[in-house]
Chain A
Amino acid sequence: MPDINDERAQSRLLERQASERYSDEAFKKYYAEKIQPLWSTFEKKRRQAAATVSRRAPFAIIYGSAIMAFVLIAIRGWHWPTGPVLGLGALGAIGVSAWASADQRQYIEDIKTQIFPIIFSFFGETFKYVQPKKNPVHIYQIRKLGVFEDIDSHKVGDYVSGTYKGVELRLTELQLWKKEDKDKSRTQIFKGLLVVLKFGKAFRGTTIVKSDQGSLGNLVARNNTGLVRVRLEDPLFEQRFEVFGSDQIEARVILTPGFMERIKKIESQHEGVQFSFISKEVAIFLPTNQDFFGVNTDLDRMFSLADDIAGIRHEMGMIFDLIETLSLQRA
């Protein structure tokens, strides 16, 4: 029979191992072992790309100017049709610019395909980084989450997927747009990260945590979701968020005072963060203006990913923290 003290000791050991695994020290060691050896290769690639760009840039400027002059002469002097000529000119300019920056793009692509998988492996063997060719998430799947029901178009960027402590995780770059009725133009209503966590145990009902949009906005949001408002005891949380749910009790099982504190902390860093708890999934919409999977494209600076990695580690740490809290509640 296992001794209770043994179990506690084992649990403490696991906790310590987990915190040590993702600590700054652990990452520095990992960086030194796995990424640092690639430094010279990528620094060489950066120099080559920088040299190619500086060599091709003058030609690109000359070609570009020649194309512009040709376009002007063709339209004004020879009275060629404006549309096709401008189209041809634009194609030429794009071609020249693509030729000039080809090595730079290859350098960034190499970082993403060769270094990013190593970075994300730090968080566990199951973590993988993917650059999808097409939108891997259908728009109806995003609408179904209940936070943005009235979107008309979306764009899903690169994503990371993996499993942390038995919880499936998928982190995707996401942009959402809504069409304006009057002028048919579209407005961006979300830009940031969509984090979807999949738990083993399903929620009984639906709970949506939306940003507070004022009395009228909240009323419209409630009508759109078709759910009932859940009023919580935390006045600061109530100021920032509006909660809707199909089960008043379950909404409070999820939104314990401790979990509300965590959400407020996240909101202080990501203003406009919103959540949805449906079936086995928790979806987190984290607005951010930064490109999560972006890398330093400045060819004049020595190859370093320190800043980019720091951002990724911070966000991943925050997501793991949320998983820990939700896992405890759902144990």
Chain B
Amino acid sequence: MEILIVALIVMTLVYAYYTRLVNKKNAVLEALAGIDVQLNMRADLVPNVLKVAKRFLEHESKLLAEITALRMSASRTYDRGDSRSLKRHLSAAAEFEGKMSQLMVTLENYPDLKSDGVMTQAQQTYNDVELHIAAARRFYNTAVSDLNTAVQIFPGSLIAGMAGIQAMPFFEATATARQPIDADSYLR
């Protein structure tokens, strides 16, 4: 009888921990969905930017081609449950972001292009989407941090292993985004 009670208590605790892990995983997936919505918005915006940019940026055709390729790569479907597939997706999104930032900096050198009405509108929308991506990234990373801590500490590691719940990758900023800003170039 006593063994039965102890087993029941252990099972209840394991179940409670399992529920907690599933909740945390779902929170990560919810945050991920938020990121994907923003990434799709950015991907939809890019053709407009490129269409206007192509008229002016003849010398930057390599950059424009890279952006087009990266956009396709970042828009590919992936397996949300597989951390490796997810990591590839997030890396592609980050790389795409880096190239887009490079394009935006390049635009600064073309005053005619910057003053184009369509481009100005596209840039404003792009900046707004970027703000939302940064916020979605923070939401996602908080949820991932929560899940990974629970998955990596005993008994979470054991229960997660049995339930097939894995630690998830963080959505990290690109090397371009981490580079220090040359304030002088803006203040000149």
Which residues of B line the A interface, CB within 8 A? 30-31, 34, 38, 108, 111-112, 114-115, 124, 127, 131-132, 134-136, 138-139, 141-142, 186-188
Contacts and interface: CB of A to CB of B under 8 A. Distances in A.
B111 A250 contact: no
Nearest to A6: B111
B111 A252 contact: no
B175 to A, nearest CB: 21
Nearest to B34: A249
A44 interface: no
A5 interface: yes
Contacts of A331: 124, 127
A126 B38 CA distance: 39
A248 B143 CA distance: 11
A262 B39 CA distance: 29
B121 to A, nearest CB: 13
B34 A5 contact: no
A12 B38 CA distance: 33
Given A248-B31, A249-B34, A4 B135 contact: no
B138 A233 contact: yes
Nearest to A253: B135
Contacts of A4: 108, 111, 114
A23 B141 CA distance: 42
Given A2-B115, A249-B132, A249-B135, A233 B142 contact: yes
Which of A8, A233, A251, A252: most chain B CB closer than 10 A? Answer: A252
A1 interface: yes
B132 A253 contact: yes
A135 interface: no
Nearest to B136: A249
Contacts of A2: 111, 115
Given A5-B188, A8-B186, A329-B131, A252 B138 contact: yes
Interface of A: 1-5, 8, 12, 231-233, 248-253, 256, 329, 331
A5 B188 CA distance: 7
B112 A249 contact: no
A-B pairs with lowest CB-CB distance, top 10: A252-B135, A253-B135, A249-B136, A249-B135, A248-B139, A252-B138, A249-B34, A4-B111, A253-B131, A1-B115
Contacts of B31: 248
A253 B130 CA distance: 10
Given A3-B111, A4-B108, A233-B138, A249 B188 contact: no
16 contacts: A1-B115, A3-B111, A5-B188, A231-B142, A233-B138, A233-B141, A233-B142, A248-B30, A248-B34, A249-B34, A249-B135, A250-B132, A251-B135, A252-B134, A253-B132, A256-B134
Contacts of A5: 188
B183 to A, nearest CB: 12
A250 B135 contact: yes
Contacts of A3: 111
B133 to A, nearest CB: 9
Which of A231, A249, A256: most chain B CB closer than 10 A? Answer: A249
Contacts of B30: 248
Nearest to B127: A331
Nearest to A9: B188
B103 to A, nearest CB: 16
A252 B141 CA distance: 12
A82 B108 CA distance: 85
Contacts of B132: 249-250, 253
Nearest to A3: B111
Given A4-B114, A249-B132, 17 more contacts: A1-B115, A2-B115, A8-B186, A8-B187, A8-B188, A231-B142, A232-B138, A233-B138, A233-B141, A248-B34, A249-B38, A252-B135, A252-B139, A253-B132, A256-B135, A329-B131, A331-B124
Contacts of A232: 138, 142
Contacts of B124: 331
Nearest to B38: A249
